[in-house]
Amino acid sequence: MSSKGSNGTSAGKPKLAVNVGGIQMINPVTTASGTFGFGTEYAPYVDLNRLGAIVVKGTTLAPRAGNPTPRLVETPAGVLNSIGLQNPGVDHFIDEALPYLAGFDVPVIVNISGDTVEDYARLADRLSQAGGVAGLEVNISCPNVKKGGMQFGSDPIMAAEVTRAVKGKTSLPVIVKLSPNVTSIVSVAEKVAEAGADALSLINTLLGMSIDTKTRRPFLGNVMGGLSGPAIRPVAVRMVWQVYQAVKLPIIGMGGIVTAEDAIEFILAGATAVAVGTANFVNPHTTIDVVEGIEKYLYENGVSDLNELIGAAHG
Ligand code: SIN
C-alpha cells in the first residue's frame, strides 16, 4: 500500500497525520539526527516528501572535526558511535543544506548542540532567522563530547536552563532530546516541560564501550561511545512509557526501530511520532517501509486514525 498523498484526507484511508508541538506532519515517521545526514545523502533512495519530517545532522555554531577514529563499531544488535558532533557548522548548514531542503515539502527539524547555554541560544536565534526551519531539536544528550551534551541533559536544572535559553530566542517549536544515561529520565522531562519545551525526543544513545581482544585496547578512539540499534529498543520503550505518564508533551520515540511493528510499539507506549535511526545504515529505505507498514497495520486493524493509538497501551 502506498502512502503517497495519503495524509488522512482520502476516504477509506486511515489518517496518519500527527502534530508534534506545533509541527504538522503527514505521518509520524521522521529520522534520528546523525543517521540521515542533511537529507541529500538519502534523496537517491527515499522520496523525502513522503516523510513526516526530517531531523538533520546535529549542528553547532562553529564547524567541528569530531572525535579521533575509529568512531563506529558494530555490536550484537547495535552500533556504538563516538562521532563527537562532527559537522560543518551552522553557517554552512544555512547556506548549503537549507536551500536544498527548501525544494521539498517536508518539515525540517534542526538538531542543535553547544558547549555552553549561550551557544544553544545563539543557534536558536540564528536558525529562527534563517527561514525554512520547522522546529529545533535541542540536543542535551550527546554522550561523546567533553562540554555540553549529556552533561546538560543529566542535570534537570541545567536541562531546564538550556530549554529556557532556547525558548527565549525562538518562536519555533522546541523539542528537547533526552538522555537515557540518567537515574530518572522522568525528573529531567518534568523540568524541561516546566521550562517551556513544546515536545520531547527520547532516547539518545546509551553510553557503552567495546574492547578488541586482539589489540587489548578499546575499539573506539574516544574509548566510550553511544549504543543505538535494536539492542536498546526495550529501554527506549520503557522510557517513553514512563515519560508519557508523567509529562503531557508530545514525544518523538526512538531507539532501534526497524519495522512498522517497532514503531507501533513506541506509539502504544505514548509516542506521537517516531524516528528511524541506525536502521537507515542497513536499509536506506527503512523510513518509507515503516510509513507503509504503519498504514497497513491501521488498515488491517480497523483503526481510522493513528492518533487513537497514542498511549493506548496504558489502558
Ligand atoms: C555524536 O555526534 O557523537 C552523536 C550525536 C549524539 O549522540 O547526539
Q: In three state form, how does the secondary structure of the chain look?
A: CCCCCCCCCCCCCCECCEEECCEEECCCEEECCCCCCCCCCCCCCCCHHHCCCEEEEEECCCCECCCCCCCEEEECCEEEECCCCCECCHHHHHHHHHHHHCCCCCCEEEEECCCCHHHHHHHHHHHHHHCCCCEEEEECCCCCCCCCCHHHHCCHHHHHHHHHHHHCCCCCCEEEECCCCCCCHHHHHHHHHHCCCCEEEECCCEEEECEECCCCEECCCCCEEEEECHHHHHHHHHHHHHHHHHCCCCEEEECCCCCHHHHHHHHHHCCCEEEECCHHHHCCCHHHHHHHHHHHHHHHCCCCEHHHHCCHHHC
- What is the average pLDDT across 80-107? 97
54 has a pLDDT exceeding 90: yes
Condensed to tens digits (0 to 9), the pLDDT of residues 294-314 reads 999 999 999 999 999 999 999
Among the ranges given (2-11, 71-80, 135-144, 230-239), the one the predictor scored with the smallest mean pLDDT: 2-11
Q: What is the pLDDT of residue 27?
A: 98
Q: How far apart are CA 165 and CA 174, in angstroms?
A: 11
CATH architecture of 18-66+88-209+229-314: Alpha-Beta Barrel (3.20)
Q: What is the pLDDT of residue 5?
A: 38
Condensed to tens digits (0 to 9), the pLDDT of residues 55-81 reads 999 999 999 999 999 999 999 999 999
- What is the average pLDDT across 122-141? 97
Atom in ligand 1 nearest the alpha carbon of residue 87? 2
Q: What is the pLDDT of residue 3?
A: 38
Atom in ligand 1 nearest the alpha carbon of residue 145? 3
Q: Is the peptide bond before 310 cis (omega within 30 degrees of 0)?
A: no
Q: Give percent above pLDDT 90 in the chain.
A: 95
45 has a pLDDT exceeding 90: yes
Q: Which of 142, 174, 185, 310 is catalytic?
A: 142
Atom in ligand 1 nearest the alpha carbon of residue 144? 3
Distance 83 CA to ligand 1 centre (A): 6
Q: How far apart are CA 141 and CA 161, in angstroms?
A: 14
Residues 159, 150: contact at Cβ < 8 Å? no
Residues 97, 39: contact at Cβ < 8 Å? yes
Distance 174 CA to ligand 1 centre (A): 19
10 has a pLDDT exceeding 80: no
Distance 85 CA to ligand 1 centre (A): 5
Q: What is the pLDDT of residue 6?
A: 41
Q: What is the pLDDT of residue 223?
A: 98
Condensed to tens digits (0 to 9), the pLDDT of residues 196-217 reads 999 999 999 999 999 999 999 9
Residues within 6 Å of ligand 1 by CB: 34, 58, 81, 83-85, 139, 141-144, 204-205, 226
Domain ranges of the chain: 18-66+88-209+229-314
Q: What is the pTM of this model?
A: 0.96
Q: How far apart are CA 109 and CA 26, in angstroms?
A: 14
Q: Which cell numbers hold the place of 221?
A: 578512539
Q: What is the pLDDT of residue 12?
A: 82
Q: What is the pLDDT of residue 4?
A: 35
Distance 218 CA to ligand 1 centre (A): 19
Condensed to tens digits (0 to 9), the pLDDT of residues 115-126 reads 999 999 999 999
In this structure, the residue with its CA closest to atom 8 of ligand 1 is: 142
In this structure, the residue with its CA closest to atom 6 of ligand 1 is: 142
Residue type, 26: I
Annotated catalytic residue 142: yes
Atom in ligand 1 nearest the alpha carbon of residue 111? 8
> How many CA atoms lie within 13 Å of 110's alpha carbon, on the beta-carbon side?
29
Task: For 35, list phi and psi in degrees, rounded to 5.
Answer: -115, 5
- What is the average pLDDT across 239-260? 98
pLDDT band (50, 70, 90) for residue 11: low
Q: What is the pLDDT of residue 1?
A: 37
Q: Which of 33, 83, 120, 207 to mutate to test the pocket of ligand 1 (most atoms within 8 A of CB)?
A: 83
